[in-house]
Structure 1
Amino acid sequence: MSLSDVKLLFQFVGGLGMFLYGMNIMADGLQKAAGGRMKRMLGYITNNRLLGVLLGALITAIIQSSSATTVMVVGFVNAGILSLSQAVGVIMGANIGTTVTAWLVSMSEWGEVMKPEFFAPVLIGIGAFMLLFAKKERQKEIGSILVGFGVLFIGLSFMSGSIEPYKDAPVFAQIFTVLGSNPIFGILAGVVVTGIIQSSSASVGILQTLAMNGVVTWNSAVYITLGQNIGTCVTALLASAGAHKTAKRAAVIHLMFNVMGAVLFGIVMFIVFSLNGNWAASTINSTQISVFHTIFNVTNTLILFPFAGKLVSLSGKIVREKVQEPEETLEQKIMSHLDTRILENPSFAIETAKREVVRMGELSLDNVKLGENAVLTNNQESVDRIFAQEKTINFMEKALTEYLVKISNLSLMEEQSEQVKNLLYTVNDLERIGDHAENIAELAESKIQGDIQFSPMGQKDLETIFSYAVGSVENAVSARRNEDAESIRQVIKFEDLVDSTEEDLRDKHIARLANNECRASHGVIFLDIMGNLERVSDHAYNIAGYVKDEM
């Protein structure tokens, strides 16, 4: 191998690296520009599979990777956010969305103005100036998209330039003759290359680069493209390792969908090429690969869409239930909900964390309610449940904090960074509410063991302040869940009521102690319960304040 050959090899590798890096920068910028829209997409994913297909295509077009979309889907299924039935539509749509990259690559064939070397440098220049000097976050996001777009095309130009000197080399003709004449070899080549690169967009881009230099035949391109669609399933299959059986089924559905489509198209195209040998052996260009890639994925979706339910059933037969599968512990369920695969998309990861924070809030709220029952009715069972649930709350605090720290290390917008910070504060406040509920449970246990009964007036006073404290936590959790202003106003109202009531009841109780209307030992428990409820209300007020900051 001569020095010039080594130089061209380095140029190809560097071009491929710039192509992948540019795609990554562009996708990152698009995700940030989409912002809240990505978050709202989760709410739109219902049992309407057609809507799922559209969302799958849109998400993949934004993040520029069907593999990443499918890995996220596996994560969502594992976390229980999506059912298998809902996941099928999103997976089908992801295959359609991945064709966007192929169309971007083929743009260089649409005229001199669209060639990478013509406009890519100016895109990088404009984007770089926006990133360096723009003040607004939105302008920086646009700059990031432009830089990514430009780097992608410069990389494509490098790849194409490194291949051009060899376009008349006999080796290319021999390779594509073999791959084109044998569908199995062609499909396997596509599977292997895509499986190694872990990106169908990149492998299709390489094929299109070769096609730009006129060395790829129609039959070889078709079979390789079919194989590339199968190869993209490797990433999701690897991602499903260690996941629940339902998540494994989602990855298997992705594989079945692409394999069935490849077999069907492979047979049809083999017959067509057999009838027209001249067309089969003629060269294909980059745009024609994009056209075929799009037709294959859209047609495959149209054909298999009515049989989505059958795909779900078949996946259940391939990934079978274990005869005696041990039931998941609550801790295991929590960890599966905080699936690291969802970190592929910051917006979805934040939304997933919010759901778990709300779940933690519901547990803390339940403990406050149980504390009320334990104190007012001397119920030991409620005390025991508080202690058990407090362990779960502490576990959730640790797990959520670690997950939110991972999210904070992702590429986030300023608004998203603020949300993550507020969620971390919220987790801490919810854990403190759980601690105060545990304190109340310990006081209730002392009351039970000492067979202590409060006076009817004292009992009524506690019922009043408990109702206000429960109301403040209830509305704080509702504010976090729904992000509504009315719940925030209710938290403020209840917090004021708790403060004024606690002060009033403390004075009244001290007066009762002075008049010997109740024992001092009883009074200490009474005052401690009220003090803990006042702190519970303070933490609820903090949580509502974090939500208000985001609105």
Structure 2
Amino acid sequence: MQELIFGLIGGTALLMYGVDMMGEGLEKASGDMMKKILTVLTGRVWSAFLVGTFVTALVQSSTAVTVLTVGFVNAGLMKLPQAVGIIYGANIGTTITAQLMAFSFRFKLTDIALPVIGLGFAIAYFGRKKMKYIGNAIMGFGMMFLGLKILNSGVPLMQQSPLLREFFEKYASNPILGIVLGAVATAMVHSSTATVGLVMILGQAGLLDLRSAVCIMLGDNIGTCITAQVASLSGNISARRTAWAHTLYNVIGVILAAIMLPLFLKSIVAFTDSFNPGGGLAAQIANSHTLFNVFSAVVFLPFTKQYVRFLEVLIRSKEDEDEDTSKYLDRLLLDTPAAAIKAVASELARVIEIGRRMLDEVMRAFHENDEKLLEKARKDEETLNTLQREVTMYIVDLSKHALSDKQSQAVPAMISGINNAERIGDHALSIVSLAEMKIEGGFVFSQEALSDLKKMHGVIESMFELTIDSLRRTDGSHIKEVEALENRLDEMSREVQAGHARRLEEGRCTLEAGLIFLDVVNYLERIADHIFKACLSGTVMAEATHNGR
């Protein structure tokens, strides 16, 4: 019994570690390529589905791909329909490892586990850069096979254990309990592949028949959702919808498969007999894993639009969602600098949008003598200060990661961008004080003066719009237009001040009102300067995301 327990513990540990090491090695070897493929080639649901399948087959971790997808959606780099397509594909791509395990049982590939580990170690030890990661992936591959070999060597002992036989006859033979068992086991180990490997071993020992093994496999697909759910807890509404898209997709698929279990089992046997005759129970279990996920994708793909609408209705955004916290910054993206920089650009656009709203409230209050609008503007300025600190800390954390030359140059540009956005709020707050002086002092501005302020505000509105659009797209496309508007505003400022001097000479403006007017003009000019500088920061960020090297 002691030998069996030690073998199970050691074999399972090696299997889990091998699967994890292989996935991590493949993911790092792929570098930014995986992230770029996910964000660039997922325009339509079908292309997202194919990309999800390919990328997950490459890195062999549906959990990693799904969690990364949650991060991309949270950062505004991907829309929900594309994320759902990736999830469909990721579930299929991750089944390749199970197929390799089944293949190893039939052709005794577990016997070459030690040479494979040795080969991987040599590549990792002597290789450079990406070759080290490839070596680690090969070592993980070998450890996975070694774990299976150790577990397989315990099959005779498992067959002799009445305790194990009684446990699986009591629990796994019941479809519902089998599904629960698979879900709990996978949630604990965070790897459906490792759980499927264990199910194959138990099948080899005769402790599980095909029906029981399939039920546990179905549960695996539910248990694997827990990591994405945890990752979405700190995310925005889109990230939570993505995590629930993954969970409900798997749960609904499991329910459908459980309802049609007899037909599903016949399909597995027929498929295995046709494409892998003599593969045995291990091949049937691997095929059940693949067929289930293909079946789920076939059912859901035609109805993706309806599924997305359902998720939007089911998981509604909270009206009182805290605006003082970042919406797009996700710590999951820090290991993917290009994506993290795009997230900062999206957050910077949001901060500038709040500054835009604040200035609009101030200028309306100035024209309408509405003190309630001034109070709203003060709250917006507090929000800007809070967000500036949060975004700055995120940028500092990003700077501690491995960055390319272009990405390193983007760090001071990002800090400059968020500081300029915050300064917009500071100058708008100064106009709040001037508006209060105007209202409390009962000062009346001439129609010409009010018209001049409206024209200047109109130019600034155009600058806001172009800068926000440029940051959201992270392409620096509007920098020349924003610069032209900023120069135009400088000219307007000189013309407006000259016009004010004439009105003052003609006695059409009081000295007190004139001083307030000139200060407002001065602050509007400064706001325009900061908008242009923020837009300029966006061009550096765009270069860092499009030319990572």
Q: Shorter-normalised TM-score: what interval?
A: 0.7 to 0.9
2:196 corresponds in structure 1 to 204
C-alpha distance 397-170 of structure 1, shift in aligned 2 (>3 A)? closer
Q: Is the 8 A contact 1:74 1:251 kept in 2?
A: no
Q: Is the 8 A contact 2:35 2:336 kept in 1?
A: no
Q: Alignment identity in percent?
A: 27
Q: Does 1:548 align with 2:544?
A: no
2:255 corresponds in structure 1 to 260
Deviation at 1:540, TM superposition (A): 1.7
Deviation at 1:374, TM superposition (A): 4.1
1:154 corresponds in structure 2 to 142
Distance (Å, rounded) in 2 between the aligned partners of 1:74 and 1:516? 63
Q: Is the 8 A contact 1:183 1:270 kept in 2?
A: no
Distance (Å, rounded) in 1 between the aligned partners of 2:201 and 2:340? 35
1:483 corresponds in structure 2 to 474
2:223 corresponds in structure 1 to 231
C-alpha distance 430-314 of structure 1, shift in aligned 2 (>3 A)? closer
1:163 corresponds in structure 2 to 151
1:191 corresponds in structure 2 to 183
Distance (Å, rounded) in 2 between the aligned partners of 1:59 and 1:303? 22
Q: Does 1:448 align with 2:439?
A: yes
Deviations 1:267-318 (A, max 9, x none): 235568999xx99xx873766654442222112322454566887899899x
Distance (Å, rounded) in 2 between the aligned partners of 1:166 and 1:194? 22
C-alpha distance 115-310 of structure 1, shift in aligned 2 (>3 A)? farther
1:95 corresponds in structure 2 to 91
Deviations 1:507-549 (A, max 9, x none): 7767876897754433432332233223212222222222222
C-alpha distance 267-350 of structure 1, shift in aligned 2 (>3 A)? farther
Residue in structure 2 matching 1:433, options 406, 424, 428: 424
1:293 corresponds in structure 2 to 289
Residue in structure 2 matching 1:536, options 503, 517, 527: 527
What secondary structure does 2:280 align onto? coil
Deviations 1:49-85 (A, max 9, x none): x455345435544664333455566678889998887
What secondary structure does 2:138 align onto? helix
What secondary structure does 1:260 align onto? helix
Residue in structure 2 matching 1:390, options 363, 371, 381: 381
Deviations 1:147-195 (A, max 9, x none): 4422321322431443354344353797589859936365455333212
C-alpha distance 442-355 of structure 1, shift in aligned 2 (>3 A)? same
- 1:124-143 pair list within 5 angstroms: 125-126=122-123, 131=128, 140=129, 142-143=130-131
- 1:498-509 pair list within 5 angstroms: 498-502=489-493
Distance (Å, rounded) in 1 between the aligned partners of 2:179 and 2:63? 18
**Could you tell which deviates more after superposition, 504-513 or 361-370?**
504-513
Deviations 1:347-375 (A, max 9, x none): 66654554333222222123334444444
Distance (Å, rounded) in 2 between the aligned partners of 1:465 and 1:313? 42
Distance (Å, rounded) in 2 between the aligned partners of 1:212 and 1:171? 9
Distance (Å, rounded) in 2 between the aligned partners of 1:30 and 1:176? 43
Deviation at 1:448, TM superposition (A): 2.7
C-alpha distance 547-320 of structure 1, shift in aligned 2 (>3 A)? closer
- The letter of the residue matching 2:515 is V
C-alpha distance 104-505 of structure 1, shift in aligned 2 (>3 A)? farther
C-alpha distance 367-285 of structure 1, shift in aligned 2 (>3 A)? same
Aligned residues: 532
C-alpha distance 247-473 of structure 1, shift in aligned 2 (>3 A)? closer
Deviation at 1:32, TM superposition (A): 2.0
Distance (Å, rounded) in 1 between the aligned partners of 2:525 and 2:312? 52
**Could you tell which deviates more after superposition, 249-258 or 239-248?**
239-248
2:37 corresponds in structure 1 to 37
- 1:4-19 pair list within 5 angstroms: 10=10, 13-14=13-14, 16-19=16-19
C-alpha distance 219-61 of structure 1, shift in aligned 2 (>3 A)? same
Deviation at 1:99, TM superposition (A): 1.7
Deviation at 1:489, TM superposition (A): 0.7
**Could you tell which deviates more after superposition, 430-439 or 341-350?**
341-350
Deviations 1:191-240 (A, max 9, x none): 33212202213323455678899998766654443332233234455667
* Structure 2: runs of 5 or more not aligned: 544-549
Distance (Å, rounded) in 2 between the aligned partners of 1:76 and 1:100? 25
C-alpha distance 458-233 of structure 1, shift in aligned 2 (>3 A)? closer
Distance (Å, rounded) in 2 between the aligned partners of 1:500 and 1:91? 53
Q: Is the 8 A contact 2:187 2:226 kept in 1?
A: yes
Distance (Å, rounded) in 2 between the aligned partners of 1:413 and 1:60? 25
1:135 corresponds in structure 2 to none
* Structure 1: runs of 5 or more not aligned: 132-139
**Could you tell which deviates more after superposition, 484-493 or 306-315?**
306-315
Deviations 1:452-475 (A, max 9, x none): 344566556545544444443333
**Could you tell which deviates more after superposition, 497-506 or 389-398?**
497-506
C-alpha distance 454-189 of structure 1, shift in aligned 2 (>3 A)? closer
What secondary structure does 1:294 align onto? helix
Distance (Å, rounded) in 2 between the aligned partners of 1:126 and 1:206? 29
- The letter of the residue matching 1:93 is G
1:57 corresponds in structure 2 to 53
- The letter of the residue matching 2:523 is N
- The letter of the residue matching 1:527 is L
- 1:212-361 pair list within 5 angstroms: 221-236=213-228, 250=245, 252-264=247-259, 266-268=261-263, 284=280, 289-305=285-301, 328-331=319-322, 351-361=342-352
What secondary structure does 1:331 align onto? coil
- 1:168-179 pair list within 5 angstroms: 168-171=156-159
- The letter of the residue matching 1:360 is V
- The letter of the residue matching 1:21 is M
Distance (Å, rounded) in 2 between the aligned partners of 1:34 and 1:423? 25
1:137 corresponds in structure 2 to none
- 1:456-535 pair list within 5 angstroms: 458-459=449-450, 461-463=452-454, 465-502=456-493, 518-535=509-526
